A and B are shown apart, each in its own frame.
Chain A
Amino acid sequence: MSADFRVIGQPRPQLDGPAKVTGKAEYTHDLTLPNLLHGAILRSPYPHARIKSVDLSKARAMPGVVVAISGEDFPDKKYVNAGPVYADRFAMARDRVRFVGEEVAAVAAETLGQAQAALAAINVEYETLAAVFDVEAALAPGAPVIHQKPDLPPNITQQSVADFGGVEAAFEDAEHIFDATFEHGIVAPVCLETNGVLASFDAAAGSLNIWAPTQAPFFVRKEVAHVMELSLEEVQVRSVVIGGGFGGKSQSPEPIAIAAMLSMQAGRPVKILLNRQEEFLSGKSDHAKKMRVRSAVAVDGSILGRHTEFWVDNGAYTHMGPAYISAVRQRTCNLYRVGAAGFDGKLVHTNKISGGSYRGMGSPQIIWAIETQIDEIAEKLGKDKLAYRIEIANQPGDQTPMGWNIGTCALAECLAEAGRRIGWAGKKDAMPANRGIGFAAMINPSVGMLYAEGNFACVSIDLMADGRLRVGTQSADCGTSQNTVMGQFVAEELGLSGEQIDVLHMDTEETPPDLGSAASRVTFVSGNAAIKTAKVFRAKLAARLAKRWDVSPSEIKFDNGIASYKDDNVRRLTLAEVATQEGPFRVEDRYDIDMPRPDPKTGYGDYAATYGFGAQAVEVEVDPATGHVTVLKVVVVQDIGRVINPLALDGQMHGGIVQGIGMALREELTFENGAPVNASLITYKVPRIQDTPEIETAYIETNDPAGPYGAKAGGEHSINPTPAAIANAVAQAAFTRFRKLPITSADVLNALEEKKPLALKPWKRPYNLEVAAARTLYPSVLFPGLRKLGGAVGRKPKPKSTYEYVCPDDLQEALQELAKPERTAKVMGGGTDLQVGIRQGIYELDAVVDISSLDELRGITIDESQITIGAATTIAEIVERDDLRAIHPMLTDGLAKIATAQIRNVATIAGDLSQEKRCWFFRSGVQCYKAGGMSCPCYAVLGDNRHHSILGAGRCSAPCVADAAPILTALDAVVVVVGAGGRRRVPLREFYVWFGETVVRPGEIIQAIEVPRDRMRSTQAFEKSAGWDGDFADASVAVHMSWDGAALSSVRISLGAVSPLPVRAVATETALLKNALTAETIRVAAGKTVHGALPLADNKHKSHLLVNLTERAIKRCLLD
């Protein structure tokens, strides 16, 4: 089929490729203008509060500050977003803030440092209000009101109810009824490029120019003009290279109008870039929701009816909520053949970040719920789960309960092909242990009627002076190759190779309107517009040349870049010659989707010109010891209409699928009092390269008549079936169906171990009695009381952006620098924890003493009795030593599991031991006991404590997550500390007061780590379980065994990440020495590692992890 085309169907690399791969592409972050000011935004620390006053006077007087604004500086206008009925957000907060992170004030100054310093001088008086963080709380009687719509209960912004075909009657007729409730949390887009803006208001010209990574310049322009009361003509959005969108840059990101107002008042350009934490705090994440899916099934398996009740967590303001409701309800009524369908969906406000339009718009998760139920139906009916899906698949010519008329559709073929490629027939009755295969399907409107403006795109084509063609589209290519594909459409239509075509995107002055990259619309709508416009170009070219040569336009030929009168040898011109002789010219045209709109209240009626389908099959393997799910292979078979660019399309498939893996197994924003506690790229666990499975893509080209060259939408959809297929595969591998996403390894492990409870014997540690008692008093007394007390008298974290950097020449000088009385200083090895901690306010330092190059602290020496490792030796240097590995493989191989190559290349062994706690409450600026002092509570007791200690917690629960700690403890290492008073040697077991607090005194430096060599034959193993390869451990175990011939002479077992200190598992050691080593005795001995454990609500899995990892490590030590 594709052989009929020259350019369509070609794997064209993206036009911007060379610029991007050389670092020359210009993103908003890279732009500058003369006279630039740097902006910074002050954000609400409270989830819900009245703003009593905002005092900018001190900030305005700070050095370098040119202008400071608050909500009062903006006109009384709210963003339109989802439409006037839903407009609820000012450009900056006025009398109320409704989520942590909401913009309250902003400053523009000569330097970023000055702007940030000025923020601290802004005085905002808040009166805190009660806040709600989930849908149940928001709907409970007496809940604080975030928004009130006139015709709906408080905090409900939209309710969508429908019954298509009498769904309740279907339940009466059903032979089987399935009823289950599912929920999932908030997923963040995590574009590598954060939101940002460069705004330049030219008062004289009365024009505002905006450079920003946005998916929809059309809407940015509209919204900014609206909230600033400018005319549309005064506002222009310019072209930039964009570092990822995925829906996180749709609508008008709030920093844009803020920068524009700063620029307007300052009379100078203003640049604002969100840092990563701000991006998590205020960017547009996915909505969270709860779904109750009920299916009415007949004897033969046909689905008589499906009813879905769902509650969408909208966050504090309405952005894309109604569109999200629409996307979700569509899946409930249209996926698979269903007799009748109904839904009741509510969009509910909570005091958290507002939902946006992350890839899939809620579809991946509702499909997960539906597909889980499909699996359960098949199981109940005794049908093969793939065959059943094929039975009930949508077919061409169907009309769904929601009134979608299915034209081309290859869903059954997609499913069958996915099954074939995953090898279902051969595996289904012979599935190896711990493995599972799951299937899922998707249906997607190929572009939706998303906007009040309709759905249209305009495209321009300019013949430039040099004969090149410039295609103009106001849509935005965020990396998806949309621009390249547009160029391909034009090239195909004009018989060109494509090399002479450039594409300009986004510029609202240079390109005609387009509604932007969203809702999977660009290939279809903008693509059709490109084809139309190319036809107009050809016609205009023909008209011009016909006039020039006095012939009929129909006799003008244009092919391969040559315009000629038929095949004439004289009357022929290249495009460059045409440009010279005729002058440059432009054409524009517009494509509208001309179709009736669905019912605005229920969504009934055809939503799109055509519908895309697809199926995925996933094979996973579960590690029964840790609960880790490895995705082995994903097969996607997509009914794509036509493949325009297989390189780009495959890329979109891969990207969406891997995002789907993250959504299924790892990604979730965790909150404490409305503020995310994992707003960082190591604690919000996006998939990394180690997680990449084998992905096989296949396309069925159904050549849809409505699409450009038969294409249907491509990019967004790839994520839609992935979480569902993964969940179904995990269900088979782990014999458990999960009702929430993400399905973490902790969830899987708890499910696997449910029938094998461990004896924890908490009273083996008498102190646990006090701890348990305190924990019971936490909700009612201790937490609220200490939080209040700490708020009044506790230390407040003071994030700093800089420090004095000192680089001594030798150890003596380093010690002198540390000892200087007038300032607080710490040594810096790699600085990978220290610098981050200074910025987080957990280290309060005046100065940092860089000891990373001091010879006295570096190097590895090996003699007969011990290995001496200089304190400032990097982890990489240790890992690379084969001679070290030959002596203590646990040391090299264990340290190799720390972090990433970039970190290991600078982080030092002493630094790993000395790093501060990684508890996400401690790190996120919350005033906890260790951060704020004795007057403060521990937030882990009542908060999300999945990462915290199960052993030995006291007033603090943060675990020791330095991998070197259990390893060196099991190796009986000694820390050599040097100071003005001389040198002392501290065994590792005496090194810690608490994790993050060592016995190294002010003025002292760790000089070396001494690791004794084995006198007898030894075996050793280090086991670590972590969220991603290199992450901080969830639990770890280091085992060292000494052998006298075949007899176990001594054993040292040290546990990591389960306790604030690296613990020796003495009871386990004793048991191993006392008994013959059999599988049974090893299991029993390993079980003793958790004696004395007192887990918290969310970290019970650590008990199982510990026992399983200990067992595994011991067995590895016996293999030799």
Chain B
Amino acid sequence: MTGLQVDVNGKMRETNCDPATPLVTVLREELNLRGTKIGCGNGECGACTVLMDGRAVCSCLVPVGRAAGRRIVTIESLGEPDDLHPIQKKLVERGAFQCGFCTPGVVMSLLALLRHNPQPTDADIRNALQGNLCRCTGYVKLLESIGEIVREGLHER
């Protein structure tokens, strides 16, 4: 069987996995992109959120056969620990996350929101992140950080 071609972070990657394999499994196990996490495997927690054609989706519910021909963007597209994107820097500095397991998914949902709507209201932000469960923080510092990210226009950098 010929491999499926998937555009991941702007590069065409080939997978030999069965097309029914969840995208998150392909990302983590075959493509070694382990930044995307699995919290539930059923689309209920958002830890596996990636962008598919610009929209936030749970990669545990996207069969890789569907991802072929779409643009997939993961947390690895953003910054590196020694070269953080300004959004990431802000989240670190303001204590917006604790254990960090939900964080890549949160960042991707946030990116999807800001790329679509650079001036979201508090209601827009809560709506966009309702699918990202966090158990550590109570979301308070996350909301504060996002407020600053919006005010400072950080996603545009």
Question: Which residues of A are in contact with B by a Cβ distance under 8 Å?
Answer: 11, 13-14, 16-27, 29-30, 189-194, 241-246, 275-276, 478-481, 647-648, 650-651, 654-659, 680-682, 686-690, 692, 695, 802-805, 807, 828, 830-832, 835-836, 839, 848, 850, 852-853, 876, 899-903, 905-906, 1029-1030
Contact A807 B131 (CB under 8 A): no
Which A residues lie within 8 Å of B46 (CB)?
Answer: 900, 902
Known A29-B38, A686-B135; judge A850-B99 contact (CB<8 A): no
Contact A689 B99 (CB under 8 A): no
Known A192-B134, A651-B136, A903-B43; judge A18-B57 contact (CB<8 A): no
Known A29-B37, A192-B101; judge A22-B136 contact (CB<8 A): no
The 8 A CB mask of B30-51 against A (1 = contact, 0 = none) is 0001111111111111110100
Contact A651 B35 (CB under 8 A): no
Known A832-B61, A901-B109, A1030-B130; judge A805-B138 contact (CB<8 A): no
Which B residues lie within 8 Å of A850 (CB)?
Answer: 63, 65-66
Report which of B80, B125, B129, B135 forms a contact with A191, defined as CB distance below 8 A.
Answer: B135
Which B residues lie within 8 Å of A687 (CB)?
Answer: 138
Which B residues lie within 8 Å of A14 (CB)?
Answer: 92, 95, 98
How many residues from B make CB contacts under 8 Å with A?
Answer: 77
Which B residues lie within 8 Å of A659 (CB)?
Answer: 135, 138
Known A22-B84, A243-B100; judge A689-B39 contact (CB<8 A): no
Contact A647 B95 (CB under 8 A): yes
Q: Is B6 an interface residue when CB atoms closer than 8 A count as contact? A: no
Known A680-B42, A689-B142, A831-B61; judge A901-B130 contact (CB<8 A): yes
Which B44-73 residues have C-beta < 8 A from chain A? 44-47, 49, 52, 55-58, 61-63, 65-66
CB B38 to nearest CB in A, in angstroms, measures 7
Give Cα distance in the complex from A480 to B100, angstroms.
10
CB A729 to nearest CB in B, in angstroms, measures 18
Contact A479 B126 (CB under 8 A): no
Which A residues lie within 8 Å of B104 (CB)?
Answer: 21, 23
Q: Is B26 an interface residue when CB atoms closer than 8 A count as contact? A: no
Contact B99 A18 (CB under 8 A): no
Contact B126 A689 (CB under 8 A): yes
Contact B58 A651 (CB under 8 A): no
Contact B129 A830 (CB under 8 A): no
Contact B98 A23 (CB under 8 A): no
Which A residues lie within 8 Å of B131 (CB)?
Answer: 899-903, 1030
Give Cα distance in the complex from A4 to B152, angstroms.
33
Known A479-B99, A831-B61, A899-B131; judge A689-B42 contact (CB<8 A): no
Give Cα distance in the complex from A191 to B99, angstroms.
9
Of all chain A residues, the one with the shortest Cβ separation from B65 is A805
Contact A651 B137 (CB under 8 A): yes
Of all chain A residues, the one with the shortest Cβ separation from B137 is A655
CB B62 to nearest CB in A, in angstroms, measures 7
Report which of B38, B76, B138 forms a contact with A655, defined as CB distance below 8 A.
Answer: B138
Q: Is B143 an interface residue when CB atoms closer than 8 A count as contact? A: yes
Which B15-41 residues have C-beta < 8 A from chain A? 18-22, 28, 33-41
Report which of B19, B40, B95, B109 forms a contact with A650, defined as CB distance below 8 A.
Answer: B95
Which A residues lie within 8 Å of B66 (CB)?
Answer: 807, 831, 850, 852-853
CB A853 to nearest CB in B, in angstroms, measures 8
Which A residues lie within 8 Å of B80 (CB)?
Answer: 22, 24
Contact B139 A658 (CB under 8 A): yes
Give Cα distance in the complex from A189 to B101, angstroms.
15
Which A residues lie within 8 Å of B58 (CB)?
Answer: 832, 902-903
Known A27-B101, A658-B139, A805-B18; judge A192-B39 contact (CB<8 A): yes
Give Cα distance in the complex from A130 to B115, angstroms.
58
Contact B88 A192 (CB under 8 A): no
Contact B101 A18 (CB under 8 A): no
Which B residues lie within 8 Å of A276 (CB)?
Answer: 39-42, 44-45
Which B residues lie within 8 Å of A18 (CB)?
Answer: 81-82, 84, 88, 92
Known A17-B92, A22-B35; judge A192-B135 contact (CB<8 A): yes
Q: A21-B88, A21-B97 are in contact. List 18 more A-B contacts (CB 8 A).
A: A17-B100, A18-B92, A22-B76, A22-B79, A22-B81, A23-B76, A479-B101, A651-B98, A651-B141, A658-B139, A689-B132, A805-B65, A807-B19, A830-B61, A901-B131, A902-B46, A905-B56, A1030-B130
Which B residues lie within 8 Å of A690 (CB)?
Answer: 126-127, 130
Give Cα distance in the complex from A805 to B68, angstroms.
13
Q: Is B111 an interface residue when CB atoms closer than 8 A count as contact? A: no
Chain A interface, DSSP helix/strand/loop, else mixed: loop
Q: A-B pairs with CB below 8 Å: how many?
A: 254
Contact B99 A242 (CB under 8 A): yes
CB B140 to nearest CB in A, in angstroms, measures 4
Give Cα distance in the complex from A245 to B88, angstroms.
24
Report which of A648, A692, A803 forms a contact with B140, defined as CB distance below 8 A.
Answer: A692
Contact B129 A689 (CB under 8 A): yes
Give Cα distance in the complex from A807 to B62, angstroms.
13
Which B residues lie within 8 Å of A828 (CB)?
Answer: 63
Interface core residue of B39, B126, B136 (most chain A CB under 10 Å): B136
Which B residues lie within 8 Å of A830 (CB)?
Answer: 61
Give Cα distance in the complex from A17 to B102, angstroms.
13
Contact A655 B135 (CB under 8 A): yes
Which A residues lie within 8 Å of B103 (CB)?
Answer: 20-21, 23
Which B residues lie within 8 Å of A852 (CB)?
Answer: 66
CB A794 to nearest CB in B, in angstroms, measures 25
Give Cα distance in the complex from A836 to B45, angstroms.
13
Q: 8 nearest interchain CB pairs?
A: A23-B35, A479-B99, A900-B131, A20-B100, A658-B138, A243-B101, A17-B92, A654-B138
Chain A to chain B contacts (Cβ below 8 Å), 9 pairs: A20-B97, A30-B28, A243-B37, A650-B141, A689-B125, A689-B130, A804-B20, A901-B129, A905-B57
Contact A902 B101 (CB under 8 A): no
Contact B143 A243 (CB under 8 A): no
Q: Is B154 an interface residue when CB atoms closer than 8 A count as contact? A: no
Which A residues lie within 8 Å of B94 (CB)?
Answer: 13, 647
Contact B135 A30 (CB under 8 A): no
Which B residues lie within 8 Å of A656 (CB)?
Answer: 138
Contact B40 A803 (CB under 8 A): no
Q: Is B149 an interface residue when CB atoms closer than 8 A count as contact? A: no
Known A23-B34, A655-B138, A695-B140; judge A243-B99 contact (CB<8 A): yes
Contact B130 A481 (CB under 8 A): no
CB A657 to nearest CB in B, in angstroms, measures 6
Which A residues lie within 8 Å of B28 (CB)?
Answer: 30
Report which of B37, B92, B141 forms a contact with A192, defined as CB distance below 8 A.
Answer: B37
Contact A1029 B20 (CB under 8 A): no
Contact A192 B102 (CB under 8 A): yes
Of all chain B residues, the one with the shortest Cβ separation from A242 is B99
Q: Is B107 an interface residue when CB atoms closer than 8 A count as contact? A: yes
Q: Is B75 an interface residue when CB atoms closer than 8 A count as contact? A: yes
Give Cα distance in the complex from A836 to B76, angstroms.
27
Known A479-B98, A901-B109; judge A681-B55 contact (CB<8 A): no
Known A276-B39, A900-B130, A1029-B130; judge A479-B55 contact (CB<8 A): no
CB B24 to nearest CB in A, in angstroms, measures 11
Which B residues lie within 8 Å of A1030 (CB)?
Answer: 130-131
Which A residues lie within 8 Å of B18 (CB)?
Answer: 802, 805
Q: Is B114 an interface residue when CB atoms closer than 8 A count as contact? A: no
Contact A193 B39 (CB under 8 A): yes
CB B18 to nearest CB in A, in angstroms, measures 7
Contact B99 A193 (CB under 8 A): yes
Which A residues lie within 8 Å of B63 (CB)?
Answer: 805, 828, 831, 835, 848, 850
CB B26 to nearest CB in A, in angstroms, measures 13
CB B27 to nearest CB in A, in angstroms, measures 10
Give Cα distance in the complex from A100 to B21, angstroms.
29
Q: Is B8 an interface residue when CB atoms closer than 8 A count as contact? A: no
Contact B56 A901 (CB under 8 A): yes
Contact A24 B81 (CB under 8 A): yes
Contact A807 B55 (CB under 8 A): no
Give Cα distance in the complex from A189 to B39, angstroms.
13
CB A688 to nearest CB in B, in angstroms, measures 5
Which A residues lie within 8 Å of B129 (CB)?
Answer: 689, 901
